[in-house]
Copies of this chain bind each other. A is one copy, B any other.
């Protein structure tokens, strides 16, 4: 599919939930692609995916699959990223990696473009952050203009999509079976360790020596790195709820000094790019997954002073886990690289 002055792009993990969103965003945002390589593991190689009205075959990823690629989007899990990123970099590609493989590597920038695009400098391997960290920080980072943030207290309401397309399907099928059988929780589980229909549970990742699960630890460590605040104190509890594709978060932001007034918070958030304030008290209308799903913006509301602490304010955010939590953030990184003249010789459309 020739396009003048376009990029040679690869997507590893093209058949996954995030991969599908990346392809859809390429079209929707008219990303300047001249040639598209869809890559996957054995399980998915040979499938065909629609792109700009054509069927594109998904090829098996191999070490030499990245020759001639300008930008490679990786979304096939940490182990595949560890295996193939070196080959893509060797071949000269810029790699935007959606996995956790390199996020905490001090040599790899971990980027939310609205917050720390400059961290990329001339790096060619760029990590896309954890979805819960992205959605939280989109709501929190703009508030740095109003005072020094000391501590975040967060409880998440995370959707099935964080576990991939198969977990979304499991939620739907298990819910259907529960409605038919009226045997809530009696159905043999599959990918998840616990019943999911009409249930919720602590995020099913291993618990570390501090008693925090892997997801919570990612939110803590990645947020500090993205914000450039290595001492930021974060209390986080990650919970999976029976929602399909948007994460929500109840967030308390504690400042070093008396908290900014609600109106200042509302105005600051209203001006920030990438978020939309949904905070209609009279109509009881606040951020929720049904409205965040499919939205590029992270929705933020329930803006109020914390009545338990004069230095704190409370927020509630909902963001599409597959969009800003993953595919959109990755593509925004690429778009801004293109706008800034990278890869060399390619300019903004």
Please list the residues of chain A having a beta carbon within 8 angstroms of any beta carbon in chain B.
151-153, 155, 157, 171-172, 175-176, 179, 184-185, 193-195, 198-202, 204-207, 210-213, 220, 233-235, 237, 239, 241-244, 248, 250, 252, 262, 281-286, 288-290, 293, 301-309, 312, 314, 316
Contact = CB atoms under 8 A, between A and B. Distances in A.
A252 B250 CA distance: 13
Contacts of A220: 307
Nearest to A176: B179
A241 B250 CA distance: 13
A284 B207 contact: yes
Contacts of A151: 308-309
Given A179-B172, A307-B234, A309-B151, A281 B211 contact: yes
Nearest to A210: B307
B200 A235 contact: no
Contact of A202 (B207, B262, B316): B316
A289 B213 CA distance: 19
A250 B155 CA distance: 7
A286 B211 contact: no
Given A157-B239, A286-B202, A289-B200, A302 B179 contact: no
Contacts of A306: 235
